[in-house]
């Protein structure tokens, strides 16, 4: 159980810092090009897992593999970045992070993975209140944004959550690292195709890949954000289920807030501190339940 909690902490830390890495990369590259390059570079680094990759397409698994890659990588980031062109970043972050645990829980209930309890309700209520407090200052200064852009962000979050549910049965027959590689290759290729069709990509744009901030951004997002954090997320998805694995959405915003203050001089006030405390309480309420059930699940797996 301690190992899984360590995985959870590492995923939350890396994905909290990923927002800063993305911000550095977007200084020189269009968003879809940056996202596509991130995933294809991660797939190249994971080529040693290629002998294990065919398992993702055998025994009728290929539709699930393809769907999960297009949902989690292409659909999520394509729609998210498109929507953020017209929606303030504070509102976009609030909607995305608040909906991740809520949508994952709703889908888990619909698929029979979870049964609703009072603990779910308490954790989700406290967590959403914490997210509102965390982003309150930014929301007050940024306005409401475009309705169509906001809808795109909601659909993007739905793609991510549905993709997580679709991917979970693959974990077992397919090792997490191999699934990460396959999804990154498929999702990254699709993102680059969309980027070529919709973004101003030319020779001057491609030369920006040698800029230090772009190189650093892609290295961080590929090595840590995709290979390490996403693979560990798949492990938690397999062992804990989608609801508990998705609780990183209550922790990562705190990391992002601290990183923004340290790297970009963003202001941290009383509302943000209150929001961070509420998010930690929400994650604690949910993870306390996870701790007890995780031990039981481990015992059952060992028995079988």
Tens of pLDDT, residues 245-291: 888 887 887 787 777 777 767 666 787 778 778 877 877 776 665 44
Tens of pLDDT, residues 280-304: 787 777 666 544 444 444 444 433 3
Q: What percent of the chain has pLDDT over 90?
A: 41
Q: What is the per-residue pLDDT for 142?
A: 56
Residue 15's alpha-carbon distances to 6, 32, 228, 259, in angstroms, are 14, 18, 10, 11
Question: Has residue 15 got a pLDDT over 50?
Answer: yes
pLDDT-derived band at 101 (thresholds 50, 70, 90) equals confident
Residue 35: which residues within 8 A CB-CB, separation 6 or more?
73, 77, 78, 81, 188, 191
Q: Delimit the domains of the chain by residue range.
A: 2-291
Tens of pLDDT, residues 143-180: 555 668 778 888 998 999 999 999 999 998 999 999 99
Question: pTM to 2 decimals?
Answer: 0.79
Confirm if 73 and 187 have CB atoms less than 8 A apart: yes
Q: What is the per-residue pLDDT for 299?
A: 41
Dihedral sign for Cα atoms in the order 254, 256, 261, 263: positive
Question: Has residue 139 got a pLDDT over 90?
Answer: no
Distance, in Å, from the CA atom of 279 to the CA atom of 125, rounded to the nearest integer, reads 10
Q: What is the mean pLDDT of residues 129-150?
A: 68
Question: Has residue 107 got a pLDDT over 70?
Answer: yes
Q: What is the per-residue pLDDT for 147?
A: 67
3-state secondary structure of 113: coil
Q: What is the mean pLDDT of residues 58-80?
A: 93
Q: What is the per-residue pLDDT for 190?
A: 96
Question: Has residue 22 got a pLDDT over 90?
Answer: no
Look at 251 and 89; give whichever has higher pLDDT. 251
Q: What is the per-residue pLDDT for 217?
A: 92
Question: Has residue 125 got a pLDDT over 80?
Answer: yes
Q: What is the per-residue pLDDT for 88?
A: 59
Q: What is the per-residue pLDDT for 302?
A: 36
Residue 288's alpha-carbon distances to 8, 73, 261, 280, in angstroms, are 13, 30, 30, 12
- Average pLDDT for the chain: 83
pLDDT-derived band at 215 (thresholds 50, 70, 90) equals very high
pLDDT-derived band at 110 (thresholds 50, 70, 90) equals confident
pLDDT-derived band at 45 (thresholds 50, 70, 90) equals very high
Q: What is the per-residue pLDDT for 304?
A: 37
Q: What is the mean pLDDT of residues 190-217?
A: 92
Please return the burial class of 141, using the count of CB atoms within 10 Å of its CB with bins 0-12, 13-18 and 19+.
exposed
Q: What percent of the chain has pLDDT over 70?
A: 85
Among 39, 74, 62, 51, smallest CA distance to 194 is for 74
């Amino acid at each position: 159980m301690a190992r899984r909690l360590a995985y959870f902490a590492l995923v939350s830390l890396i994905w909290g810092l990923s927002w800063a890495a993305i911000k550095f990369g977007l200084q020189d590259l269009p968003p879809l090009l940056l996202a596509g390059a991130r995933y294809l570079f991660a797939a190249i680094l994971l080529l040693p897992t290629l002998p294990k990759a065919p398992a993702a397409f055998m025994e009728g698994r290929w539709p699930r593999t393809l769907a999960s890659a297009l949902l989690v990588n292409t659909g999520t980031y394509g729609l998210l970045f498109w929507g953020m062109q017209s929606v303030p970043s504070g509102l976009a972050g609030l909607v995305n992070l608040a909906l991740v645990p809520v949508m994952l829980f709703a889908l888990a209930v619909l698929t029979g993975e979870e049964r609703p309890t009072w603990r779910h309700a308490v954790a989700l209520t406290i967590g959403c209140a914490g997210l509102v407090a965390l982003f309150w200052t930014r929301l007050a200064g940024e306005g409401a944004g475009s309705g169509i852009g906001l809808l795109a962000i909601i659909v993007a979050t739905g793609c991510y959550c549905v993709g997580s549910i679709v991917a979970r049965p693959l974990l077992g027959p397919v090792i997490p690292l191999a699934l990460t590689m396959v999804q990154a290759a498929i999702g990254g290729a699709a993102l680059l195709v969309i980027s070529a069709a919709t973004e101003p990509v030319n020779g001057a744009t491609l030369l920006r890949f040698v800029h230090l901030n772009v190189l650093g951004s892609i290295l961080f997002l590929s090595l840590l954000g995709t290979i390490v954090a996403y693979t560990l997320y798949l492990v938690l998805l397999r062992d804990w289920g989608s609801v508990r694995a998705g609780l990183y959405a209550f922790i990562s915003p705190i990391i992002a807030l601290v990183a923004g203050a340290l790297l970009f001089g963003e202001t941290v006030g009383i509302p943000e501190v209150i929001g961070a405390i509420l998010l930690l309480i929400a994650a604690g309420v949910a993870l306390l339940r996870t701790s007890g059930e995780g031990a039981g699940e481990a015992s059952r797996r060992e028995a079988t």
